[in-house]
Structure 1
Amino acid sequence: MMIDLTDTKSSAVNSALVEARHAIGSPALGMVLTLVIVTDESNQYDAMKAAVEAAREHPSRILVVIGRPGAEITPRLDAEVRVGDAGAGETVVLRLHGELADHAESVVLPLLLPDAPVVVWWPGKAPEAASADPLGVLAQRRITDAVAAPRRADWLEIRASAYTPGDTDLAWTRTTTWRSLLAAALDQRYDTINAAAVEAKAGNPSAELLALWLSDRLGVPVERVVSAGPGITAVHLRTESGDIAITRPDGVLATLSTPGQPDRHVALKRRDAAELIAEELRRLDPDDVYAATLAHAAEEAKARANGSSDDASPAAVEAAEHEAASVAVQAVPGSSTMAESADAAKAPAKRAASGAATKKTAKSGGSSGGSAGSRGSGTGGSRASKRTGGAS
């Protein structure tokens, strides 16, 4: 059922929603969150389609906010209320004309579901500081997409400086299965990792985030290699006995190669926006691994600017410590597995402190010892295994 409202107000939209629910015989709400999509006319169809598909898994009230600013345009609100057409939930398309487009929060606030989480998604152009945006302030989670939006060369530093718990990006979501598969590959015996490489199409934000995650977790240099695409095409972890490699030249099927073992084929297709949004809606708590990766990006940028390799920034240390606190067992590279690492986790505190000192010394000397590999495989594996899906 669809109801068109012209030159209306939020209270009339709420009344239309109640009327539509009663008309189709479902007066109860039964929705778990409000998803606010901030977009324009050119992107609204694809964004709304993806949100409706995601609502099959997460019944939601979807509010599509389309601004039509202009000083010469008379301020007014037009709305389309759709209930029961497709998916589970309700969809309201709000077109804000004139000066009203600069005050979208005043229109959206009365339409939010009571006592339910709010997620705001910018499928195209997004504010540099999403948490400071008037609509972003209303949300527990704020989703941007560096792939779809125009971005500056220092976009990662901007995201890191403006990061607030609850921020995330679909470019990061696209790396989830890559990170899960890499963690699984390290959940067995392997030699010390001394370098890594990520191959992807030029300018791919997901590839840069994946490279930063590997650099942060493994403590080794990560080379960025340009390929023909699509998206990320390969990741190589260099060891003395050979490369641990994941290659995906066609964007559908990947091959996992490990020294001394036969190659294995793994489904690793590139997912659409609906699958990515559905994954992000599965968890509404802050993503500490994403926060630590952004902090590491800022740390690397600062080191390049200073021409030195300073210690981690306070944001990177805080995010890494928060993430480490949630990890029960860390893998030890060389001749151990995750299962065998459980015994190492029970070692005395003195040994742990000694390992930390060795790791710091190795980092300042520019080497990448076993402890750095341990941090990459253990923390990355534990965290990545919680977030399934998402190839770039």
Structure 2
Amino acid sequence: MHLKDTTTGDIMKSLAKLLHEVGGASGLALNLVALTTEDEREEVEKAASFAAQEHPYRLIMAIPRDLEATEARIDAEVTVGERLGSAEAIILRLDGPAAAHLSSIVLPMLASDVPVVTWWLLDPVRYGLEQELRSFADRRITYSARANDPVQSLHRRAETYVSGDTDICWTRISLWRSLIASAFDGVTHAVEKITIKADDDDPSAQLMAAWLHTRLGVAPEIVDTTVVRNSEHLPAIASVAFTMAGGETMEVERKADGTTVLRQAGLPKRRQTLQGRTLGQLLAEELRHIDPDTAYRRVLETIRENAGERAGV
């Protein structure tokens, strides 16, 4: 259902009408508010449709349009099911002051008594909407790799972190973290040196280094490396190598085809495949955990502390 130059009240009446036609609302797990551009809309819809298979939710997609317009205008599309699967969806195109006051528009549209997650691929700072998106959400999902300066964006996350923040770049390394953690079962000597071969402009590599520093007490060296990936949603990490106090070594290396090899002194090589997951799979993983991610918080604290030490603070 398409609505031109509409109001919040008319949008909600249209949603209620559609829900009545399909037999009423199903049990919603959460609200997902996504900030995107028209160019990214299809990608966001595809990811949201996949994630909705696990998490029935109300999707409110906000697309800032003509920011210079003097008159506020809202054009909307309201759907239930259809191309977005099990999601109830409201797609908003916002002009002028309507884009600047996102929270006042979105709040009346939220399903009651379920958590609110905000998600954005773009950098909301360019629209002046960062605080708007933070103000009403229980959880906030960013994607630092999509920013103009990915590492700077990650550092801003570290400086402004509040409980409930997370990042798709953190989700991208969850399989790496699981593999490394399992490799340390039975390791008795302390780690003396860690070397990460990675694109040092990749926020996932920075998060990996901070996570290892947090867990093992050793600051890894990132060796800037060109990494061949078959998906942009893979972390740009080629290998992570460890040297133990007893002289033993251990290395996890991922090849371009996704084959990942664990080499550990005294043990046969272990192989598995780490292929790039889709954005929908990464979003679905994030939505499984609404509670604050304490591991991510500690990693951002390490990033902030290390940045302060480098700056001589």
Tell me the TM-score normalized by structure 2.
0.91
1:54 aligns with 2:59: no
Structure 2 partner of 1:64: 61
Counterparts of residues 131-146 of structure 1 (less than 5 Å): 133-146=131-144
Structure 1 partner of 2:95: 97
Structure 2 partner of 1:291: 297
8 Å CA contact retained: 2:242, 2:249: yes
Q: CA deviation at 1:23?
A: 2.1
- Aligned to 2:145, the other structure's residue is in SS state coil
- CA offset digits 1:341-384 (Å, max 9, x no partner): xxxxxxxxxxxxxxxxxxxxxxxxxxxxxxxxxxxxxxxxxxxx
Most deviating of 148-157 and 62-71: 148-157
Q: Which amino acid aligns with 1:118?
A: V
Of 266, 273, 278 in structure 2, the residue corresponding to residue 260 of structure 1 is: 266
In 2, Cα distance between the equivalents of 1:17 and 1:295? 42
Structure 2 partner of 1:126: 124
Counterparts of residues 1-20 of structure 1 (less than 5 Å): 3-20=1-18
Q: CA deviation at 1:251?
A: 5.4
RMSD (CA atoms): 2.0
- Aligned to 1:108, the other structure's residue is in SS state helix
Structure 2 partner of 1:75: 72
1:279 aligns with 2:277: no
Q: CA deviation at 1:199?
A: 1.3
Q: CA deviation at 1:70?
A: 3.3
In 2, Cα distance between the equivalents of 1:220 and 1:72? 52
In 1, Cα distance between the equivalents of 2:139 and 2:210? 23
Asked which structure has the greater CA Rg, the reply is 1
Residues 282 and 208 from structure 1, CA distance in 2 versus in 1: closer, same or farther, beyond 3 angstroms? same
- Aligned to 1:133, the other structure's residue is in SS state helix
8 Å CA contact retained: 2:250, 2:264: yes
Structure 1 partner of 2:310: 304
Residues 198 and 205 from structure 1, CA distance in 2 versus in 1: closer, same or farther, beyond 3 angstroms? same
- CA offset digits 1:78-107 (Å, max 9, x no partner): 101111214212111101112211111111
Gaps of 5+ in 1: 308-392
Which aligned segments of 4 or more residues in structure 1 are displaced greater than 6 angstroms?
none
1:42 aligns with 2:39: yes
Of 170, 173, 189 in structure 2, the residue corresponding to residue 172 of structure 1 is: 170
In 2, Cα distance between the equivalents of 1:157 and 1:201? 16
Most deviating of 280-289 and 240-249: 240-249
8 Å CA contact retained: 2:259, 2:273: yes
Structure 1 partner of 2:81: 84
Residues 84 and 70 from structure 1, CA distance in 2 versus in 1: closer, same or farther, beyond 3 angstroms? closer
- Aligned to 1:197, the other structure's residue is in SS state strand
- CA offset digits 1:227-286 (Å, max 9, x no partner): 221321111111244321111122522111111000011221121211111011001111
In 2, Cα distance between the equivalents of 1:176 and 1:166? 18
Q: CA deviation at 1:202?
A: 4.2
In 2, Cα distance between the equivalents of 1:192 and 1:162? 33
In 2, Cα distance between the equivalents of 1:191 and 1:154? 35
Residues 131 and 40 from structure 1, CA distance in 2 versus in 1: closer, same or farther, beyond 3 angstroms? closer
8 Å CA contact retained: 1:82, 1:90: yes
Identity, in percent, stands at 37
Q: Which amino acid aligns with 1:42?
A: D
- Aligned to 1:135, the other structure's residue is in SS state helix
Q: CA deviation at 1:204?
A: 0.9
Gaps of 5+ in 2: 230-235
In 1, Cα distance between the equivalents of 2:288 and 2:129? 20
In 2, Cα distance between the equivalents of 1:269 and 1:57? 21
Structure 2 partner of 1:320: none
8 Å CA contact retained: 2:150, 2:203: no
In 1, Cα distance between the equivalents of 2:215 and 2:257? 25
8 Å CA contact retained: 2:200, 2:206: no
In 1, Cα distance between the equivalents of 2:13 and 2:219? 58
- Aligned to 1:172, the other structure's residue is in SS state helix
In 1, Cα distance between the equivalents of 2:216 and 2:243? 11
In 2, Cα distance between the equivalents of 1:116 and 1:139? 11
1:205 aligns with 2:210: no
Q: Which amino acid aligns with 2:38?
A: E
Structure 1 partner of 2:182: 184
